[in-house]
């Protein structure tokens, strides 16, 4: 085992070696954090996409409900008109 480090000092007491080890550990931690951040950004983009799709579907559903309600209203008016016409036809003796 070598007692001196590459900096010419006792290996176990060299501050430069210690700093280099700390820097290497911190760089490794930065890489881990960057990977985690990238993953989180991907999840965020996916969530934003899902939210936009849900908003579009909600809007489409609201439009469909409005159309359905309008068709119901038209059907009710048409039924009332047909019933009125049948009454008129009965009054004049055309229908029984």
Domain ranges of the chain: 11-91
pLDDT-based confidence at residue 1 (cuts at 50, 70, 90): low
Tokens for 46? 């996916």
**Eight-class DSSP state of 8:** S
Question: What's residue 51's pLDDT?
Answer: 98
Q: Is 64 helix (H, G, I), strand (E, B) or coil?
A: helix
CB 18 within 8 A of CB 26: no
- 95 pLDDT above the threshold of 80: no
- 27 pLDDT above the threshold of 70: yes
Measured CA to CA, the distance from residue 94 to residue 85 in angstroms comes to 11
Q: What pTM, to 2 d.p., does this model score?
A: 0.55
- 32-80 pLDDT, tens digit each: 999 999 999 999 999 999 999 999 999 999 999 999 999 999 999 999 9
84: left (phi over 0), alpha (psi -120 to 50) or beta: alpha
- 3 pLDDT above the threshold of 60: yes
């Amino acid at each position: 085992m070598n007692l001196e480090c590459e900096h010419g000092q006792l290996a176990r007491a060299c501050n430069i070696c210690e700093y280099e080890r700390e820097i290497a550990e911190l760089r490794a931690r930065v890489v881990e954090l960057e990977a985690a951040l990238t993953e989180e950004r991907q999840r965020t983009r996916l969530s934003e996409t899902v939210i936009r799709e849900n908003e579009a579907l909600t809007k489409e559903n609201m439009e469909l409900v409005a159309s359905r309600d309008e068709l119901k209203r038209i059907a009710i008016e048409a039924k009332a008109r047909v019933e009125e016409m049948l009454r008129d036809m009965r009054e004049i003796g055309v229908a029984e």
